[in-house]
Structure 1
Amino acid sequence: MTSPTTPPTAPPTGDERPGRTLVLVRHGRTAWNADGRAQGQTDVDLDELGHEQAARMAPVVAALGPSVLWCSDLARARDTASYVAKELGVEPTVDRRLREFHLGEREGVRRADWVARWPDERARFEDGDYDVVPGGERRAEVASRMGEVCRAVLDAVGPGETAAAVSHGGAIRTAVASLLGWDTPGASSLRGLDNCGWTRLAERTYGGPLRLVSWNEQA
């Protein structure tokens, strides 16, 4: 009579710990936003509406439960993050890698003037081709620094936890496309984030690939 045998052990399927969530928030409105000027890394403060937007957004993002908060070192991002920090009771980590694109010769230029003088360049820029900007930061450079810092933000939390960062529209758009493995045409399918809009990316399991959960959520 044959004795029963122990069923073979199933091979490991990888890390089954719950995945992490990354929330990326664009800063509130500035006077340059209202005037249609390209800001880039010019340090412009929030205007009155920008502060109101940040105050409305903060409790909603805080309710997502981030255990850490990072932000760009530019004033508009730091001031926006301060509202979320107050709700969470945490101190933001300031990191210059979360800055917006440096827009070279086009910083301070109004959109209407850009369209009138360099229409093809502006059309390509709005499609996400930031490399057309003379003297500006290259898309690959921004994708690299934003990818590094987003991974650092995620690595600051454990399995199943949420991390948040306040950054800038072009930088976030580029980061999301890079983190998801999209090419430049894929990035152009994402419309720009509104002021104080946010996006969520999440892992299915800890350390796994990120997936797009939402884009341009609003308070």
Structure 2
Amino acid sequence: MDHHEGLRETYAGEWQGLTNSEIRARYPEEYEAWSRGEPVRRGGGELATEVADRAVPVVLDAVDKLPDNGTVVVVSHGGTIRTMIGRLLDMEPAQWERFGGLSNCCWSVMGQGARGWRLLEHNAGTLPQPVIGDET
């Protein structure tokens, strides 16, 4: 098992350690812009695209080293995982928030098919079952 700095949680600058209500009270304009899906450096921290820039290469490097039919397990924070999923699926960053948050101890399952990466399960608590027509 390796630890990779690129998989750390999003750095939220001055928002770090604050509750949602504290952020709304102290940074109302910034919070509203972020809520509308605008690219915001929350508290002067990282943009979601910067998180994806550092996290996705870690995953792709691990995938490149896999034996045939191998599996990579990535453990990180929900926000970081969301950016990785969005980037791997070639979605526009403004769409990444459409993925709901991950509950504690839940996961997402990604796979590579004939047309690229696919999201097989999200916020899962059980292992996926094969679906007819999902052959890779």
Quote the Cα distance in structure 2 between the aligned partners of 1:109 and 1:163: 33
Q: Cα–Cα, structure 1 residues 132 and 96, in superposed 2: closer, same or farther, change >3 Å?
A: closer
Return 102-111 or 149-158, whichever deviates more: 149-158
CA contact (8 A) 1:100 1:167 kept: yes
- Give the alignment partner of residue 53 of structure 2, picking from 141, 144, 149: 144
One-letter identity of the residue aligned with 1:141: E
- Residues 25-64 of structure 1 deviation map (CA, whole Å, 9 limit, x = unaligned): xxxxxxxxxxxxxxxxxxxxxxxxxxxxxxxxxxxxxxxx
The answer to whether 1:210 aligns with 2:124 is no
Letter in 1 for 2:59: C
Higher relative contact order structure (alpha carbons within 8 Å, sequence separation ≥ 6): 1
Equivalent residue letter for 1:201: M
Count of aligned positions? 126
Cα deviations by residue, 1:75-111 (Å, 9 ceiling, x for unpaired): xxxxxxxxxxxxxxxxx11111111111111101111
Distance 1:156 1:128 in 2: 35
* TM-score, normalised relative to structure 2: 0.80
The Cα shift of 1:214 comes to 0.6
Summarize the Cα distance change of 1:127–1:190 in structure 2 as closer, same or farther, 3 Å threshold. farther
Residue 168 (str. 1) matches residue 77 (str. 2): yes
1:146/1:175 contact within 8 Å kept:
yes
Alpha-carbon offset, residue 146 of structure 1: 1.0
Unaligned runs of 5+ in 1: 1-91
Q: Percent identity?
A: 31
Displacement of 1:202 in angstroms is: 0.2
Question: SS at the partner of 2:43?
Answer: coil
C-alpha RMSD of matched pairs (Å):
2.1
Match of 1:25 in 2: none
Rounded Cα–Cα distance in structure 2 between residues aligned with 1:140 and 1:94: 21
- Native 8 Å contact 1:147 1:175 kept in 2: yes
Q: Work out whether 1:153 is the aligned partner of 2:62.
A: yes
1:135 aligns with 2:44: yes
Structure 1 length-normalised TM: 0.52
Given that 1:180 and 1:211 are in contact with CA atoms closer than 8 Å, whether structure 2 keeps it comes out as yes
Paired residues of 2:12 and 2:41 also in contact (CA < 8 A)? no
Instruction: Call closer, same or farther: CA 1:127–1:195 in 2, change over 3 Å.
Output: farther
| Distance in 2 between residues matched to 1:102 and 1:163, nearest whole Å | 25
Report the AA paired with residue 60 of structure 2. R
Q: How does 1:18-37 map to 2 (within 5 A)?
A: none
Residue 105 (1) aligns with residue 6 (2): no
Aligned: 1:184 with 2:93: yes
